[in-house]
Amino acid sequence: SHLLVLLKKKEFQASQGNEVVSAGLKQKYSSEDFAKPGSGKGLKIKEIEVSAEEEEMYVDLHPVINTLPYTVVETMSLAKALILFRHVGLRHLCVVPKEAE
């Protein structure tokens, strides 16, 4: 949903890693702009129009995403994962292999 909001607001950059533009996003938007609306009322990719020129541009998600997500190993019990979701209020959880392959 974060990407859809930024696409709809036309937050494109001509080049990667433009810290000035990226830093401005933090002041420009609040958490309410990215809040999940009621059932079925969210943005849909079909509703967003992007020109051919914009398709060649970049969208920096770093200012609006969690760069330190909660992670758990794949052997964690479902009961513990549920407790983590409820107590911390998570929407997503990264599951990683127990051993690096």
What pLDDT does residue 77 have?
92
Amino acid 23: pLDDT: 65
Q: Give the whole-number percent of the chain exceeding pLDDT 70.
A: 84
Both 50 and 70 in a single domain? no
The pair of structure tokens assigned to 8 is 């709809």
Domain that holds residue 98: 66-101
Ranges of the chain whose pLDDT falls below 50: none
Q: State the pLDDT at residue 85.
A: 85
Q: Supply φ then ψ for residue 58, to 5 degrees.
A: -115, 155
d(CA 43, CA 4): 7
Same-domain pairing of 58 and 71:
no
Collapsing DSSP states into helix, strand and coil, what is residue 54? Answer: helix
The Cα–Cα gap between 35 and 55 comes to 25
Q: In this predicted structure, what is the pLDDT of residue 20?
A: 60
Q: Which pLDDT belongs to residue 19?
A: 65
Torsion from C-alpha of 45, 47, 50, 56, nearest 10 degrees? 0
Residue 13 sits in the same domain as residue 50: yes
Q: In this structure, are 48 and 10 located in the same domain?
A: yes
**The total number of structural domains that make up the chain:** 2
What's the confidence (pLDDT) of residue 35?
Answer: 75
| 3 and 49 housed in the same domain | yes
Say yes or no: 30 and 46 in one domain: yes
Same domain, 36 and 50: yes
